[in-house]
Chain A
Amino acid sequence: MSLGDMLFGAFALPFMGRALLVLLVLSVVAGIVGVLVNLRGLEFISDGLTHAVFPGLAIGLAVGGTAGLVPGAAIAALIGAVLLTLFVRAGVTSDAAVAVVLTATFSVGVIVVSLSDDYAGELEALLFGRVLTIAPEDVVPLLVVSLVAAVAVAATLKQQVFRAFDPQGSRAAGDRGLALDLVLNASIALVVVAGASTVGTLLVLALLIVPGASARLATVHLWRLFPIAAAVGAVSAWLGLAAGFGVSVGAGIDLPAGSTVVAVFVAVYALMLAVRLVRDRMTRGAPTSVAARPSADAMGER
């Protein structure tokens, strides 16, 4: 199989085309939402939401089969988003709140799944996704879920960034923190919903976190973070699907698609980190420590 077949030809197959379409849209949206997750430091809340979605998926599957996945997950995610927002606001430290929601809901999900006939198979699909077996009728709901999250975040983007930078100032300027938090957490939840049925509840976090973190490595320019994160997401999704297909078909090694996509996301992050470290070394002549939330003044751009 040629490289061209792997990168382009493969997506002529209907199931690969569907996987690409859903994953591209999802990754772009997750990248944009993920920049706000990064700026607000909401990684752990996002993790909590991925777990909160799990019982929704399980109940949805039990009630309506695979068609019940998206509605079930959406309901669970929105409940989780509201609860987490209110918990954090009520002064429960967010880590404790998330841990409570996370373990409680995950156990509910496992109990529901364990009642089904094909326990192991169902559990695996929910945890690790089914990106290559997205049914044609599931494409539109997944795209709609992603796009609702995109619109919600786009409509409040200026205010979200303001709040991320200076919550007090944003409140003094008349913005409602609770409303903004609900919109952002609900958007994260919707991304998690769409991601859970494609790459699985355990791996969707990578789609949310990695592009935003990569963008922070690449630029200190606020409004460039969003297109860069979207591009990182889109390219990683495409290369990940292509790589999974190429290795599985060309080399006969059966790679799970969702995990391969996530591996490529992380590889792109590692590459950008390496570039960043080399650039820092060249501009400063000495190594600089680069954490997950990098100091940007070493970047040599203005």
Chain B
Amino acid sequence: MTDSEPVLVLRGAAFRHPGGAGVTGLRLTVAPGEAVAVIGPNGAGKSTLLRGILGLVPLVEGAMRVGGAEHAADGMIGFLPQSSDLDPDFPISLEQVVMQGRYRRLGLLRWPGRRDREVVRGALETVGLSDRARRRFGELSGGQRQRGMLARALASEPVLLLLDEPFNGLDQANRDALIDTIRTLKSRGVAIIVSTHDLELARQVCDSVLLVNGSQIGCGPVDDVLTLENIQECFEGVEVEIDEHTVVVPGHEGH
């Protein structure tokens, strides 16, 4: 794979859970170092799209290429799930959680070596948690845990990073830290797809936007896609936050 070659290409792709909800009509190209915001209301299929790229939800239509191949190679995609409720009493340290990001590359029988520990250290540094490496994961604050999970996603040294609603429930400090991390990763050439219903965030760190609500509504540079008309179509009747104001998007009148 060369630098110019896209990390991800979706051509008329649709992902659908067996017998369940799906998201259709996806056309998207993501280059190295590019950040794409996937925006849509709750239940629009944002998570389904991310899980489809991961291979956890079947591709039922169209085509997908990840890193030039039909399936992602081990560790190529890093994934930060929506804040998952993990047992806070589980006896595991932050660095041990981050090391789990290396397991895919290690396979079944190999145990982490020096290089793996270096990568884990680097990932913790990137998210700004080096001083917490040996703390028990359950003792960390919610925002720190979220950054810890991001470090785990980074430990696989992904070329594509999928972030599912990473800003939900974060305080301002952790939000700023996460935005910094995203900028750092972009500058290193990591492609990022971040699902959110936070339009402001899209403007801050993303190069382009994919608007979805069951199917793709628009895709392209932030200012081209985040038009009033598109947002109305996507968020009809939904509350959204724009520049710290909450508004209810009215429906199309006269259409």
Contacts and interface: CB of A to CB of B under 8 A. Distances in A.
Size class of B's contact patch? Answer: 20 to 34
Contacts of A225: 91
A168 B97 CA distance: 13
Contact of A168 (B81, B87, B96, B134): B81
A158 interface: yes
Contacts of B136: 220, 296-297
Contacts of A222: 91-93, 96
Interface string A154-186: 011011011011101111111100000000000
A39 B100 contact: no
B100 A169 contact: yes
Interface in B129-147: 134-136, 138-139
A277 B54 CA distance: 46
Given A158-B106, A162-B103, A220-B136, A169 B93 contact: no
Nearest to B164: A172
Contact of A166 (B74, B84, B91, B93): B84
B228 interface: no
A294 B89 contact: yes
Interface string A219-240: 1111101000000000000000
A222 B74 CA distance: 25
A39 B96 CA distance: 15
B142 to A, nearest CB: 15
B108 A169 contact: no
A216 interface: yes
Contact of B152 (A159, A169, A221, A302): A169
B109 interface: yes
Nearest to A174: B104
Given A222-B91, A302-B134, A172 B54 contact: yes
B1 interface: no
Contact of B100 (A173, A294, A302): A173
B97 A165 contact: yes
A225 B89 CA distance: 14
B86 interface: yes
Interface string B65-106: 000000000100001010010110111110011001101101
Nearest to B91: A220
A269 to B, nearest CB: 17
Contact of A165 (B51, B54, B87, B134): B87
B56 interface: yes
Contact of A39 (B90, B97, B139, B156): B90
Ranked nearest first, the 3 interchain pairs of A and B with the lowest CB-CB distance are A220-B91, A172-B79, A222-B92
Interface of A: 39, 155-156, 158-159, 161-162, 164-166, 168-175, 216, 219-223, 225, 293-297, 302
Given A162-B100, A164-B90, A173-B79, 16 more contacts: A39-B91, A159-B108, A165-B97, A165-B100, A168-B84, A169-B100, A169-B152, A172-B54, A173-B100, A173-B101, A173-B156, A175-B103, A219-B91, A221-B91, A296-B136, A302-B134
